Amino acid sequence: MIPGAAERHEPGRYYTFESRLPQGEFFELRPHHLPCNAQPILDETSGICIGYTVVQAPGLWQVYDTHGHFVRLEEAPLETPLIDPTDIALLAFGVFRIFRTGRALFEAGTKTAITAKLSQSTILFLRTRFKLGLSARNLKMTETAARHMLEPGRYVPLYIQEKAIRYGKRMADPRKIQGLYRYEIEMYKLYRKKAATEYKKYTLEVVVRESDWTITHFMYF
């Protein structure tokens, strides 16, 4: 068989994948211009950072989308009525997490349990903003690539791969296989541990057969 023939001709199919990420791990495509002290809004259902908050005052946040564009103000009633003054000073260093139930809570690195809800309208708005563009549902995958989506250490949400195709650097396939193109984008993984969030930067590459928008290969390193 001619080298690369399998990738040129292997049929693409539509797939639906559930997140394979361990609890507390998320993907992020960080905008070039992110406001100072911005904190991520993490969606556990998709395993993706879908926006950012910047504290304007205790209980009042500026909300930004994943492009770093301001979209609205969010005022959240505190669920804990008694707040220590030192806790108020630390509110800027928390993060909103959207749990699989659709409930969003603000987690602050404080000695008391301070939580505030992010409104459902804001959650839905940010999810919709993130999904703008070439719908990930229109992307196909070869069976070979789809098998890698079942590996926790290899899995990358389709919406992240779609953004790599939409906004990443396009180049010829390194193996010079006709009809295939490689897209590359900078990506972060977030590791949320109690009140701290650790970040690791990666390069995501996605190889696509553009004739039918089929992903034949992807990996990050």
User: Do 219 and 149 meet the contact criterion of CB atoms below 8 Å apart?
Assistant: no
List the structure tokens of 45.
């259902």
Residue ranges of the chain with pLDDT lower than 50? 1-3, 82
Position 157, amino acid: P
Q: Is 186 helix (H, G, I), strand (E, B) or coil?
A: strand
List the structure tokens of 44.
């556990």
User: Do 67 and 103 meet the contact criterion of CB atoms below 8 Å apart?
Assistant: no
CA 128 – CA 92 distance, rounded (Å): 25
List the structure tokens of 89.
């000073």
Report the pLDDT value the prediction gives residue 175, as an integer from 0 to 100: 92
Report the pLDDT value the prediction gives residue 176, as an integer from 0 to 100: 93
Burial 194-220 (b: 16+ CB within 10 A, else e): eeebeeeeeebbbbbbeeeebbbbbeb
| H helix or E strand, kind and range, residue 17 | none
CA 74 – CA 88 distance, rounded (Å): 17
